[in-house]
Amino acid sequence: MSATLLRIHPDNPPLNRIQQAVDVIRKGGVIIYPTDTVYGIGCDIHNAKAVERVCRIKGLNPEKANLSFICHDLSHISDYAHGITTPIYKVLKRALPGPFTFLFEASSKAPRQGGKQRKTVGIRIPDSPIILQLVRELGNPIMSTSVREDENTLDEYVTDPDLIFEKYRAMVDLVIDGGFGNNIPSTIIDCTNDDFELIRQGAGDIEQYL
């Protein structure tokens, strides 16, 4: 197997190219795509085999992996997460789309992880037209993790789509080239206790939205 490299304009993604990527995901494929932070690896959240493939690529245990969901807007979030109070929702509305991952208690609709009901979900709505349009056309969120392997290294391959393609072409089905990515991951905020607890400082500054 060798992946396809699909070049898509980052600001005005043509629908026919987005549809090409959606078709790969619907068939159980794993793709790499740009976000507003680092490039991500993802698949349909409802395809357990594809999720396991994503975990294998990253060397993660499917039962313990903390994968995020990428949604295209806030309407998707309440399907998979509990505990979104009005004050929290107002902050989400101000901060998203943006470089944040928000952690919530998982609802019963959240896909099981390694056959077990997950306890929390990480929600992302990146400020990136390609992935937002892709999720919108797919009709449900995609499971996502970054191509970055080590939080402490600044590897060039995680920003250059050609280098990402060379590294992952034998492991995934499609790599979207949406231009150079960033090297700083999303900021992770834990909202499970009805508050905003900073777990990892990344590209987003939550203070300006509180």
What's the pLDDT band for 63 if we cut at 50, 70, 90? confident
pLDDT computed for residue 183 by the predictor = 87
Query: What is the C-alpha to C-alpha distance for residues 35 and 49, in angstroms, rounded to an integer?
Result: 23
- Return the structure tokens found at 133: 């349009």
Q: Which residues neighbour 76 within 8 Å (Cβ) at sequence distance 6 or greater?
A: 69, 140, 141
What's the pLDDT band for 153 if we cut at 50, 70, 90? low
Query: What does pLDDT average to over the chain?
Result: 92
- Residue ranges of domains in the chain, CATH in brackets: 4-200 (3.90.870.10)
- Alpha carbons within 13 angstroms on the beta-carbon side of residue 108 total 0
Could you tell me how far CA 209 lies from the centroid of its own chain? 21
pLDDT digit string, tens, across residues 17-34: 999 999 999 999 999 999
Q: Give percent above pLDDT 70 in the chain.
A: 93
Query: What is the C-alpha to C-alpha distance for residues 107 and 109, in angstroms, rounded to an integer?
Result: 5
Residue 152 has pLDDT above 80, yes or no: no
**DSSP assignment string, 31-75:** EEE--SSS-EEEEETT-HHHHHHHHHHHT--TTT---EEE-SSGG
By residue count, the chain amounts to: 210
Could you tell me how far CA 19 lies from the centroid of its own chain? 18
How does DSSP classify residue 124? E
pLDDT digit string, tens, across residues 76-93: 788 899 889 999 999 999
- 127 three-state secondary structure: coil
Residue 151 has pLDDT above 60, yes or no: no
Residue 66 has pLDDT above 60, yes or no: yes
pLDDT computed for residue 156 by the predictor = 57
pLDDT computed for residue 114 by the predictor = 63
